[in-house]
Structure 1
Amino acid sequence: MKNTINKISLIIPVYNEEENLQDLYSEITRSLSGLTCAYELLLVDDGSSDSSLGVIRALAGADERVRFLSFARNCGQSAAFAAGFRYAGGDVVVTLDADLQNDPADIPAMLDVYAQGVDMVIGWRAKRQDSVVKRWASRFANWVRNRISRETVRDTGCSLKVMRAEMVKRIPMFTGMHRFLPTLMKLEGAKVAEVRVNHRPRSKGVSKYGIWDRAWSSAYDLLAVRWMQKRHIGYVVSDTNVK
């Protein structure tokens, strides 16, 4: 059964990305110009210490499709996604990073796959534009996650994803859980597809994550996800008189 898309909410966590935001906005509006459905751009400022919030306010003042949330302090990417999911007004949610390594031009093709009847479409960065060390660390981490969580996802770390909004809003979000959204969506009964996407080198700003701090936190989070899989309650109501 095919999906109807009425409105898309693009959710983008922002932390000290003042140099990238205008280019990001321009690329998104250009990439989505051919869509027939409505969309909103929900920017979540995660307590930036640079001028990111000022740039976001200017974008929102010039385009009513741009909405924003600003945290009082830095809370992390999972918190930013959780807030975005909560305030999203669309029936379809699209997530991506603000550093321009995700390519907004990939979004229409991912939406086409979603429209065919799946609940989630994951970006797969087949040719990552990162250092050799970072690429190998990511591959190893992905292998470990898949082994322990019994998954087959090729790129769990890619932020470019398309999801059914009402389904992702049911997921309990904790710190680090954004890395396991495919697994958590499957617990909700989601049908998941993967699409090969472009990945670009960072040209402005600096990476906010180190290899080892991410590795340790991911290992800790993975145990929580495995526990959730084993303890998940799933049921199907066959009959009821509740209205």
Structure 2
Amino acid sequence: MARRDNHPRVGVVPTRVLNAAVSVVIPIYNEVGSLERVVGGVAAALPELAVEHEIVLVDDGSSDGSGAIVDRLVAESSVVKAFKHDKRQGYGAALRTGFAAASKDWVVLFPADGQFDISELRGLLQRGSSADLVVGYRRLRRDGIVRALNAWLWNRAVRLRVGYLCQDIDCGFKLFRREIFDQVRLSCDSAAIDTELLMQARSQGYVIDEIEVTHRPRLAGRASGAEIGVILRAVRDLLGLRRPLSAG
């Protein structure tokens, strides 16, 4: 059930939270250099964190050979399942596909770029004892100046448009109660989906908490979030968002 208070509750973390059933959704676009390492790390970490778990890979029309790696990972593990877009549809579209396919009690959003540490999922799950969504924030971002500036501008644009949701709206490491996706209606195909999701969840009384997460330098591939077309699409979607009515 959604919690109707406005602030996370603090208390002793029960062991059962760490035994929750977890779906890890990994969106992919041209991550051939890091994909296998990232999925391998997630697969190794999950048995220690969740009694039941699955890894949901969503290939958003990659053109660099990531699709072949996805096929092999699915063939090698019964806990990995995959979905492919025939052509690139956007980050938001990849997330919507992954969220719809996730079947466990908790859904983790985790990127394929190798810039986050899956072992820190334990901390997010612990926060889940008193919150419905747990959003990571990168106090020290390991990005170039242009990407860091874009992120700073984007966070401020989001706050001007819909108010404060979290410190680091575009952080790719997040945790959600699965039931949330039965209550919200997501439409954004771009990075604005993070704003759309948190805005709708907050309006329905779901509790949002935040936790600092480690951010590492990208070792392979190229971030697509700084592409001008991607940015313009996200801005368009952000401007098109409507503030939902608050839960009574």
TM over 0.5: yes
**Structure 1: runs of 5+ lacking an equivalent:** 237-243
Aligned to 2:183: 170
Which secondary structure does the structure 2 equivalent of 1:142 belong to?
A: helix
* Rounded Cα–Cα distance in structure 2 between residues aligned with 1:46 and 1:105: 26
Offset, 1:72: 1.6
Letter in 2 for 1:194: E
Q: Is the 8 A contact 2:165 2:198 kept in 1?
A: no
Aligned to 2:72: 58
**Greater shift in the superposed pair: 56-65 or 211-220:** 211-220
Q: Which residue among 179, 183, 203 is the counterpart of 2:194?
A: 179
Offset, 1:83: 0.9
Q: Does 1:20 align with 2:56?
A: no
What TM-score comes out, normalization by structure 1 length? 0.87
Q: Which residue among 30, 50, 59 is the counterpart of 1:45?
A: 59
* Rounded Cα–Cα distance in structure 1 between residues aligned with 2:181 and 2:227: 27
Which secondary structure does the structure 2 equivalent of 1:194 belong to?
A: strand
Q: Is the 8 A contact 2:136 2:211 kept in 1?
A: yes
**Greater shift in the superposed pair: 117-126 or 25-34:** 25-34
Identity of aligned residues (%): 26
**CA shift in 2, pair 1:169/1:97, >3 Å:** farther
Trace 1:140-219 onto structure 2 (pairs within 5 A): 140-174=153-187, 175-176=189-190, 177-180=192-195, 181-210=197-226, 212-219=228-235
Letter in 2 for 1:224: G
* Rounded Cα–Cα distance in structure 1 between residues aligned with 2:83 and 2:124: 26
Offset, 1:124: 0.2
**Structure 2: runs of 5+ lacking an equivalent:** 1-8
**CA shift in 2, pair 1:218/1:75, >3 Å:** closer
Count residues with an aligned counterpart.
Answer: 231
Aligned to 1:239: none
Q: Deviations over 1:170-209 (max 9, x none)?
A: 3222223423132222123210000000111110111223
Which secondary structure does the structure 2 equivalent of 1:34 belong to?
A: helix
Offset, 1:66: 0.4
Aligned to 1:138: 151
Q: What is the Cα-based RMSD across aligned positions, in Å?
A: 2.1
**Greater shift in the superposed pair: 186-195 or 118-127:** 186-195
Which secondary structure does the structure 2 equivalent of 1:32 belong to?
A: helix
Offset, 1:211: 5.5
Aligned to 2:99: 85
Q: Deviations over 1:120-152 (max 9, x none)?
A: 000101100011232122112212211221115
Which secondary structure does the structure 1 equivalent of 2:185 belong to?
A: coil
Offset, 1:42: 0.3
